[in-house]
Amino acid sequence: MKRLGILGGMGPAASAEFVNRLVQQTPASCDQEHIPFVLWSNPQIPDRSISMRAGDDLPLPLLLEGIKGLKAAGCDLIVIPCNTAHFWFHKFSKINVRMVHIVDSVAFALRDVGVNDTTIGVIGTQATVELGLYQYHLNRLGWDCIVPSKEEMDTLVQPAINLIKSGNLDQAHDMFMPVVDRLILRGARAVVLGCTEIPLAITQQRRDGIPLINSIDSLVKVAIKEFKPN
């Protein structure tokens, strides 16, 4: 039996949201038609953003432990509903198991809505934006990425992400939307919500006709396509 592995806990709410959306979006008419999965949720993994900015690998041992555990549980494909964990993606290859890079899933989603080779906005944690996790991959694939200003990151985006982790979704939404609007005014033909916490606060799929691509749903769609190809 094919089985999906989900490496989660970063944060716990984002992992739960991924599982919820996976169940909701899977085309199934009975229990047996849903996708078998194993969730490895470890919220004790050190903060990925802090390590990225500090240049250390503190999260790596526990990330590798989770991947090995999912492989041992018989998982054929592993996804990680945490953007910053993908900073270490190139180090996961030593474990012989298929994995999907979350930025690749976003690229598929952009193509699906017809946003090709144009300017897109990217919102994420300070580490994701500063270290170019999305910009590096998507620029090579033909998109021109623009990101919030440092002031917007410091006073709106990162504080809003922190609010989501503490459960304050409404206030976080109100802080995100001016940033989304400014990226659109700067020419973004789509805005990527490049943190798996953000879709908990921004639930709409478009803003003034501009697609909002969230990395939870893009990863869910890749998993469903793998297990339910028809």
In tens, the pLDDT along 82-91 reads 999 999 999 9
- The bridge status of strand 4-8 relative to strand 119-123 is unpaired
- DSSP sequence for 11-35: SHHHHHHHHHHHHHHS--SSGGGSP
Question: Domain 4-101+218-227 maps to which CATH number in 3.40.190.10, 3.30.950.10, 3.40.50.1860, 3.40.47.10?
Answer: 3.40.50.1860
- The bridge status of strand 206-207 relative to strand 210-214 is antiparallel
Determine the pLDDT at residue 146: 98
Q: Which amino acid is at 9?
A: G
- Residue-wise pLDDT tens digits, 130-170: 999 999 999 999 999 999 999 999 999 999 999 998 999 99
Farthest CA pair distance, the chain: 49
Do domains 4-101+218-227 and 103-215 share one topology? The answer is yes
Please tell me the class of the 103-215 domain.
Answer: alpha beta
Please state the rounded mean pLDDT for residues 53-72.
Answer: 96
The residues spanned by each domain of the chain are 4-101+218-227, 103-215
Determine the pLDDT at residue 116: 95
